[in-house]
Structure 1
Amino acid sequence: MRTKSQPREYFLDSIRAYLMLLGVPFHVSLIYSSHQWSVNSAEPTLWLTVFNDFIHAFRMQVFFVISGYFSYMLYLRYAPKEWWKVRVERVGIPMLSAIPLITLPQFFMLKAWTGKIPGWSSFSLYDKYNTLVWELISHLWFLLVLVIFTTLGLWLFHRLRRQEKGEIAAPGWLTLTLAILFYSLCWCVVRRLIFLFQPALLTDGLFNFAVMQTLFYLPFFCLGALAWRNPALKARFVRFNPWTLAGAVLAFFAYMANQRYSSGEGWMYEIDAVVSMLMGLWMVNVVFAFGHRFLNAHSPRITWLVNASLFIYLVHHPLTLLYGIFITPHIHNNALGFLAGLMFVFGIAFILYEIHLRIRCCAFFSGKKARPQP
């Protein structure tokens, strides 16, 4: 049974789409940053490194808050089993389709044209399996995590729905900050114990995607669901608080310092987790407040981007690699190369999106599936 639909919240749709589309400048800037990637320019550029770090430090945390918000909204609209089916169709089918059609060809492209996967023939069976997991799931990892969250949501949302309804006071930013800090420290303890007693697990692709990433983003997904259930909490998120901006700025400086001065053999990943979770929480307020102020209106152009965002995200990664492999070496100005890369990737992705709209059987690439009207 379905409940009555709520009015569309355009600013959340817009934020979700823009966060998805930020994957393009994130990966294009990665080429020109000081971070080692599949493809890199001859020399890194500082401002593109900082730009890349900024996107990476908060984007997916905010994205999963919005995902939790809309997931719980749909949970209340459908029967639980129907809700699970609808959600898995929207995220699972694009992921499973993209593996043979996008990331598998991308694997062969990396193997043939880059030095990322040397010595493949000498790999053990497990090393080949693990490399394939890392490369085939690749930038699709968040879809796998959403499928896991959807399955966990059958239990989490059932408990949330059974709780007493009514007006509930929203926790303040200090309480939220302490809660996220405590959770991040627990995540760090789990990772450190694995590092000490089963370090091989941390290099296993499936374990990282299905367990560590799921645990990392779980509180943000739950925050989104709580924001739907508790209007006072949602109101706190969309009402700008200057302290969250100040905290996000300080957290970003700490994030960059950790990237540059910490070591993977030390506490780099644990510090990264604490800082990223806190920055993600505070950026929820910054992004929601900005979006509610400037993006909370219907626009056909924005609607087109919302509908196109998943498809563009799916196809942008191999396009970025192709650009990095074949075009980047011929552009010696990194700023110009970055802008040219954005035009190359977005331009081709937009064209491919319009082509796929005209092929009925390809609708699943946008996370859509034609269903009979109720």
Structure 2
Amino acid sequence: MNNAPTPQRLHALDNLRALMMWLGIVLHVAINHLTVDSPLPWRDPKTSPVADLLLLFIHSFRMPVFFVLAGFFVALLVERRGAHGMLKNRSLRLALPFAIFWPPLFVGTAVLAMAYIHLTVRGVPGIDTALTPARQPGGSPFNTMHLWFLYQLFWLSVLAWAGVRLQRFVPARLRNAVARGFAVLAERRWGFVVLALPLAVTGAFHPSGFVMESGAFLPPFSEWMQSGLFFVFGWYVHRDQERLLARFAARCKGLAFTGLAFFVVTLALLDAMRGPGAHRLPHPEFWIAFAYNATSWLWSMALIGGFLRYLPRQNAVLAYLSHSAYWVYLVHMLGTIGFGILLFHAPLGALAKMGLNIAATSLVALASYQLLVRHTVIGRLLNGQRAANRSSKKSTKARVFAAR
């Protein structure tokens, strides 16, 4: 008789993914109200430095956490289903939803974006393609929009599949050395410094040191480097998960405070770069990229550890948000842009507009999930076929994550 314990679902990581998805709404609403140069070509007349700080703050950890968790769960799928089973799962859960939802979302988002740009430039909503920012000569007018995460994650999964298939040609000693190297970097307090260095080098070639997502179907190397390193890190964390995740949980407070220190350094460096003494700061993009990516690594590990330590259980609210998160991620840009248009002339301050937009987008996205998605074929496509009467009705702590 096999007495091996049945693997338990890590509810803490589901809870964390749900929060990161919702923060996407906050981030994209904040972009409407930036005081600095915006990555998007529209802007509300009411701006606030709070929006600037929110964008920098959320962007520092949100996508890094996603890619660490993505690498972790891809490794989990390989362990349970094999490389082919993993690729089939990722094709159904990533590539197929992208193929189905990208066309209507692209059209809807493009129309709303053009209306918002017209409103920004001329004060009234309308459509004028002449106001659309010019693209590079010969470039495509199409891009992956906010669905770039699905797009890149699928191709990273394909690379993971290829790596598993080809690993028999790599000496076991070398494979084990690489795995041990990542384990050491995850375990040691100085590991984040080494992990941040390659991202600082690639970031040094970008304005202000930030690698921004282009949404291109052929993203530049720096974007693959940025997302791929976090993905690979998550892959190797899974290999030694009990020890490493327990370490993250035990150190979550220290990781969070150290990350805060590097975030403050990032803000100081940005201020110095824009100030009158900017010429005295050698290679500012490199140092900003290093401090910001150090923040990303520290806060990613802190958030994973903190959720494992303080929110290891499933509850009805977090479970619902977790199940709805994929759909909310897909459609939320329609809300943040659409409600931004509706609030454009509202006699309110930036923070009030942001609060209303976040609330309205969240409510409409959740309502559409409940009415159109949850109990339909769309819900099964996005979330998979959940087992009936799953025993997780009774909350269970994830193993090994009680901090000592």
On whether the aligned pair clears a TM of 0.5, the verdict is: yes
The reply to whether residue 114 of structure 1 matches residue 124 of structure 2 is no
Contact map agreement 1:28 1:341 (CA 8 A) in 2: yes
Larger helix share, 1 or 2: 1
Q: Which of 107, 114, 120 is the aligned partner of 1:104? A: 107
Secondary structure of the equivalent of 1:149? Answer: helix
Question: 1:199: which partner in 2?
Answer: none
* Distance change >3 Å, CA 88–CA 275, structure 1 → 2: farther
Q: Which of 373, 377, 380 is the aligned partner of 1:357? A: 373
The reply to whether residue 93 of structure 1 matches residue 108 of structure 2 is no
Q: CA deviation at 1:248?
A: 1.0
Secondary structure of the equivalent of 2:147? Answer: helix
Equivalent residues in 2 for 1:1-374, closer than 5 Å: 6-35=7-36, 36=38, 37-115=40-118, 119=130, 127=137, 129-133=139-143, 137-157=144-164, 159=167, 163=175, 170-171=183-184, 172-188=187-203, 191=205, 206=216, 209=219, 211-230=221-240, 231-240=242-251, 242-260=253-271, 262=273, 270-357=286-373, 360-363=376-379, 366-368=382-384
Extract unaligned runs of 5+ from structure 1: 196-201
* Distance change >3 Å, CA 19–CA 358, structure 1 → 2: closer
* Distance change >3 Å, CA 98–CA 256, structure 1 → 2: farther
Query: Structure 1 length normalisation: TM-score?
Result: 0.82
Amino acid at match of 2:259: A
* Distance in 2 (alpha carbons) for counterparts of 1:277 and 1:223: 14
* Distance change >3 Å, CA 365–CA 352, structure 1 → 2: farther
Secondary structure of the equivalent of 1:130? Answer: coil
Secondary structure of the equivalent of 1:330? Answer: coil
* Distance in 2 (alpha carbons) for counterparts of 1:39 and 1:130: 21
* Distance change >3 Å, CA 237–CA 155, structure 1 → 2: farther
Question: 1:198: which partner in 2?
Answer: none
Secondary structure of the equivalent of 1:68? Answer: helix
* Distance change >3 Å, CA 267–CA 42, structure 1 → 2: farther
* Count of aligned pairs: 354
Q: CA deviation at 1:261?
A: 5.2
Amino acid at match of 1:183: P
Contact map agreement 1:89 1:369 (CA 8 A) in 2: no
* Distance in 1 (alpha carbons) for counterparts of 2:267 and 2:25: 21
* Distance in 1 (alpha carbons) for counterparts of 2:213 and 2:147: 18
Q: Which moved more, 1:210-219 or 1:49-58?
A: 210-219
Secondary structure of the equivalent of 1:114? Answer: helix
* Distance change >3 Å, CA 85–CA 258, structure 1 → 2: farther
Q: What value does the CA root-mean-square deviation take over the aligned residues?
A: 3.5
* Distance in 1 (alpha carbons) for counterparts of 2:49 and 2:116: 27
Secondary structure of the equivalent of 1:144? Answer: helix
Q: CA deviation at 1:122?
A: 11
Secondary structure of the equivalent of 2:141? Answer: helix
* Distance change >3 Å, CA 40–CA 151, structure 1 → 2: same
* Distance in 2 (alpha carbons) for counterparts of 1:121 and 1:188: 27
Q: CA deviation at 1:210?
A: 6.1
* Distance in 2 (alpha carbons) for counterparts of 1:365 and 1:38: 33
Contact map agreement 1:61 1:277 (CA 8 A) in 2: no
Q: Percent identity?
A: 18
* Distance change >3 Å, CA 306–CA 274, structure 1 → 2: same
* Distance change >3 Å, CA 208–CA 164, structure 1 → 2: closer
Q: Which moved more, 1:286-295 or 1:83-92?
A: 286-295
Amino acid at match of 1:177: F
Amino acid at match of 2:13: L
Contact map agreement 1:237 1:289 (CA 8 A) in 2: yes
* Distance change >3 Å, CA 26–CA 250, structure 1 → 2: same
* Distance change >3 Å, CA 260–CA 360, structure 1 → 2: same
Secondary structure of the equivalent of 1:332? Answer: coil
* Distance in 2 (alpha carbons) for counterparts of 1:268 and 1:127: 30
Secondary structure of the equivalent of 2:142? Answer: helix
* Distance in 2 (alpha carbons) for counterparts of 1:103 and 1:359: 25
Query: Structure 2 length normalisation: TM-score?
Result: 0.76
* Distance in 1 (alpha carbons) for counterparts of 2:9 and 2:139: 43
Amino acid at match of 1:153: A
Amino acid at match of 2:256: L
